[in-house]
Each structure stands twice: as structure tokens, then as C-alpha cells.
């Protein structure tokens, strides 16, 4: 039995959602145990887990048929092909942290909300791991993030950072497009309205008055880079290579949010980057200039690399102060040295390999990969 829920995503990705943990060490141990069990089961079926932010070889193909995904596909198709690729061909490491305290300061909820969004492009760049699509380089270090930029902002964008976080998030949710109106028994097909915001649905009551359950479900159909769920869910990090590649982004992110000194250092490092997205009140998130630069160039972008170097150093110091396992601290230090300090990311390894050999040589010869 697993400690955490395991779900199948539309394109065959496996998503392991760890339970809340009291410490980084507890979280790492629990996930490692679950992954070992998952790998054992997959191995018996001649399958293996692969860590990529986006499938490097295959076009998007749905393997899961449910009313939710039928409605999501119909809704996203109106905006172009990016939606199906997001559903079926992308995978990530999603790190969840506490929303923060009411009082101001490095661990206050308003500062943490801003830090999550300002740190986002640095995490995109540092952990970019999806430069290939259907066997060819795309020109992006994080094609996964580029796919997100191809989805309508109401579905995948972020609210403005100016203003009280709960108020701006509420406005964003109410103004976001409704993906579907579910039937009474949850059976499909579901109605997929066009250009209907939740605010408009409340006011019109058509095709039926919305309920609290409809609002709760509406929240699950929004895919911002930072999702507010009573905690903060950071969704911008590409899935990582290797059996334990997920540990480094987890450790770095948790250290920068849970240690007051590291949080303040990180905030000061990333705050100037916001100027690249325009004056206060400008849109942020995957469609904005800074996030697009992070996805395209990774840490080869000089300003993003400088911020990443500072953030990784702060995270390393915080992990030492909090007594994190030596293996975790060593993994973060090695990643910082081999990638961040050199302006590289895992995507560069894939591009180097693609240049050395025909892309088909990169493909698992079994043709049976499972990722996420």
C-alpha cells in the first residue's frame, strides 16, 4: 500500500500526491518509499518511470476517458493545440508550502504570495527539462512552460501581484472562464460553455444556478503557476531526470519558504526581476515577458542565473541550519555547481545528447515510458 494517492493523468502520466509532512526529511522519506513501490509494480509490467517536463517523442494521445477530461479537452481546443499537449504530454514537480502567517514579515502570507510568483521564473529556468518535442528541439529550454503560455490566460495565468492576495485571487477566480457545467449525477457529457466566467454564471443563473460544489470544482479547473488551496501549490517546475531528481527542487523551494533568513534573501534577489514584466500591476505568469525568457533561455539568461545562484546559496545555508539530511544538502550543492553556476539546466543535457546522435537513439527501446 502507498502512503499517498496515485492517479493516472489523461496522457498516461502518473501523479503521486504526497501527504502533508512535518519536515522536509519526513516528506522525502515518504515519497521515496512510495516511488520504490510504484517502480516495482511498473517493472513487473516492463514499464519504467521517466522524468521529463514534456514528452520528447510522442504526440499527445489521451488514454483516459472521463467526463472531466472530455470537457477540458473541448474547452481547451477552442484556444488551439496547446491544451491537448498540456493534458497529455507534460509533467511537473509540484511543491506545496504553507500559505503563511497573518502578520507581516518574511513568513507572512502576503510576502509568501509575492515570493512564490517572483521566484517562479527562477525555478522555471533552473529546472528546465523539456527542450524536445516529437524528437526535435523546440527552441525552448522548458517547452512545458511554453505550452502553458499557449493556453488562455484565464485558465493558466496569474492574478496581478499588486493588492491584497486574497482579494486579487478571488477576482481572478470569479473572472476565469467556466470549463464545464456538470450534470446532476456527474455523468457525461457535460455542458462546455463558451466565454462564461464564474461571476457571470452567478449573475445569470444559466444554464442552472451554480452551487458551492460548482465553485469548488471550478477551482480545480484553473492551472495558474501558483494555486491557492489553503496552502500554496507551486506548479512551474519541470519533472526532473533520475530516480531522485525531484528532491532538489523540493529541498530548494521548501528552504526558501520555511527559513526566514533564506526567504528574505530570496525575495531581495528576485524582486528586481519583476521590472522586466513592466510597471506595477502588469500581468505575471506564463504569458509575461520574464516567464517567457525563463522558459526559452533557462539559466543562460544572466539575470535569472544570478538570482538562481543567490537563491541556491541561501537554500543551502538554510538546509544546513535546519539539519537537513547530508544527502539532500549534497544533492542541492552538486546541482548548484553542475548546473546553476554554469548557466545550465537539465534541458542542456538533452540538447547535447540530441546533437551527438540521432534523436531516435534517445528513445527507450521498449517504447513504454511512464512519467510524472
Instruction: Tell me the pLDDT tens digit for each residue of 223-274.
Output: 999 999 999 999 999 999 999 999 999 999 999 999 999 999 999 999 999 9
Q: Which three cell numbers stand for residue 334?
A: 552538486
Q: Which three cell numbers stand for residue 5?
A: 494517492
Q: How far is CA 177 from the centre of its chain?
A: 21
Contact 153, 176 (CB under 8 A): no
Quick one: pLDDT at residue 358? Answer: 60
Q: Burial, 186: exposed, middle or buried (Cβ in 10 Å; 0-12, 13-18, 19+)?
A: exposed
Q: What total of structural domains would you count in the chain?
A: 1
Residue 38, pLDDT > 70, answer yes
* 362 within domain boundaries: no
Residue 360, pLDDT > 80, answer no
* 128 within domain boundaries: yes
pTM attached to this predicted model: 0.93
Pairing of β 369-371 and β 48-50: parallel
List Cβ neighbours of 22 (8 Å cut-off, separation of 6 or more): none
* 195 within domain boundaries: no
* 108 within domain boundaries: yes
Higher pLDDT, 192 or 370: 192
* 181 within domain boundaries: no
Q: List residues bridging with 233 in a β-sheet.
A: 96, 227
- Over residues 210-222, mean pLDDT: 96
What separation in angstroms does the CA of 360 have from each of 57, 60, 90?
8, 18, 20
Domain that holds residue 248: 6-176+222-347
Neighbours of 159 (CB within 10 A): 24
Mean pLDDT over each residue of the chain, to the nearest integer: 93
* 202 within domain boundaries: no
* 213 within domain boundaries: no
* 331 within domain boundaries: yes
Residue 276, pLDDT > 60, answer yes
Q: Burial, 163: exposed, middle or buried (Cβ in 10 Å; 0-12, 13-18, 19+)?
A: middle
Q: What is the CATH number of the domain that holds 105?
A: 3.30.590.20
pLDDT level of residue 372 (50, 70, 90 thresholds): very low
pLDDT level of residue 90 (50, 70, 90 thresholds): very high
Quick one: pLDDT at residue 279? Answer: 79
Higher pLDDT, 92 or 369: 92
- Over residues 290-297, mean pLDDT: 97
Residue 359, pLDDT > 80, answer no
Residue 365, pLDDT > 50, answer no
Quick one: pLDDT at residue 239? Answer: 98
Amino acid at each position: 500500500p502507498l502512503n499517498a494517492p496515485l492517479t493516472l493523468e489523461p496522457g498516461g502520466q502518473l501523479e503521486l500526491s504526497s501527504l502533508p509532512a512535518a519536515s522536509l526529511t519526513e516528506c522525502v522519506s515518504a515519497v521515496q518509499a512510495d516511488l520504490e513501490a510504484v517502480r516495482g509494480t511498473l517493472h513487473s509490467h516492463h514499464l519504467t518511470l521517466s522524468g521529463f517536463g514534456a514528452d520528447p517523442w510522442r504526440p499527445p494521445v489521451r488514454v483516459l476517458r472521463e467526463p472531466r477530461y472530455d470537457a477540458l479537452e473541448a474547452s481547451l481546443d477552442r484556444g488551439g493545440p496547446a491544451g491537448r499537449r498540456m493534458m497529455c504530454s507534460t509533467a511537473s514537480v509540484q511543491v506545496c508550502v504553507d500559505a503563511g502567517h497573518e502578520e507581516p514579515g518574511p513568513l507572512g502570507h502576503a510576502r509568501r504570495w509575492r515570493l512564490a510568483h517572483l521566484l517562479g521564473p527562477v525555478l522555471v529556468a533552473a529546472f528546465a527539462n523539456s527542450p524536445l518535442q516529437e524528437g526535435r528541439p523546440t527552441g525552448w529550454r522548458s517547452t512545458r512552460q511554453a505550452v502553458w503560455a499557449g493556453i488562455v490566460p484565464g485558465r493558466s495565468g496569474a492574478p496581478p501581484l499588486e493588492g491584497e492576495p486574497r482579494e486579487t485571487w478571488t477576482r481572478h477566480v470569479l473572472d476565469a472562464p467556466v470549463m464545464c457545467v456538470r450534470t446532476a449525477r456527474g455523468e457525461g457529457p457535460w455542458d462546455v460553455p463558451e466565454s462564461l466566467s464564474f461571476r457571470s454564471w452567478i449573475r445569470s443563473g444559466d444554464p442552472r444556478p451554480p452551487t458551492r460544489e460548482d465553485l469548488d470544482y471550478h477551482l480545480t479547473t484553473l492551472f495558474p503557476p501558483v494555486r491557492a488551496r489553503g496552502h500554496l501549490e507551486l506548479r512551474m517546475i519541470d519533472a526532473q531526470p533520475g530516480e531522485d531528481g525531484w528532491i532538489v527542487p523540493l529541498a530548494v523551494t521548501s528552504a526558501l519558504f520555511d527559513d526566514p533568513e533564506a526567504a528574505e534573501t530570496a525575495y531581495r534577489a528576485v524582486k528586481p526581476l519583476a521590472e522586466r514584466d513592466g510597471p506595477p500591476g502588469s500581468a505575471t505568469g506564463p504569458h509575461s515577458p520574464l516567464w517567457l525568457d525563463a522558459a526559452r533561455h533557462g539559466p543562460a539568461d544572466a539575470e535569472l542565473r544570478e538570482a538562481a545562484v543567490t537563491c541556491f546559496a541561501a537554500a543551502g545555508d538554510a538546509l544546513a541550519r535546519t539539519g537537513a539530511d547530508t544527502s539532500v544538502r549534497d544533492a542541492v550543492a552538486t546541482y548548484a555547481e553542475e548546473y546553476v553556476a554554469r548557466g545550465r539546466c537539465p534541458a542542456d543535457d538533452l540538447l547535447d545528447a540530441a546533437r551527438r546522435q540521432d534523436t531516435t537513439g534517445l528513445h527507450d527501446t521498449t517504447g513504454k515510458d511512464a512519467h510524472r
